[in-house]
Amino acid sequence: MDKMTLRRMEYYGYHGVFEEERKLGQRFYVDLELELDLRQAGLSDDLTQTVNYAEVHKLLKSIVEQKSFQLIEALAEHIASAVLDTYTRVDALTVRVTKPHPPFDIHFDGVTVEMYRSRK
């Protein structure tokens, strides 16, 4: 299966268990790997034969920046469902949501959840 990958899309969202996170907001990174047949797009050079990644970005921006979830697991699940519902060409996907600065007293590069979802 062919793949289209959108890496480290950065959004500002209001997600978290703590009230301060949902009030002040913070940065989130989203990686999305779409599994779909890209043969016709490659042969025809026709945007209608693929998924427009600019539109995918706009969809994800609206989800991350306009909705609020306590868990990044819920955010990732919502992203996966929305992409599969919107883009019928996508057979499966992997979504990764990273919270680079969770509110802990320890230093690390953040926390990431990763989900694989398919139409099957």
Per the annotation, the verdict on 99 as an active-site residue is yes
Q: What b/e sequence results for 86-116 when a residue is b if at least 16 CB atoms lie within 10 Å of its CB, and e otherwise?
A: ebebbbbbbbbbbbeebeeeeeeeeeebeee
What are the residues whose beta carbons fall under 8 Å from the beta carbon of 63, sequence distance 6 or more?
Answer: 75, 78, 79, 82
Of the residues 23, 67, 99, 120, which is catalytic?
Answer: 99
Q: Report, as residue numbers or ranges, the catalytic residues.
A: 99
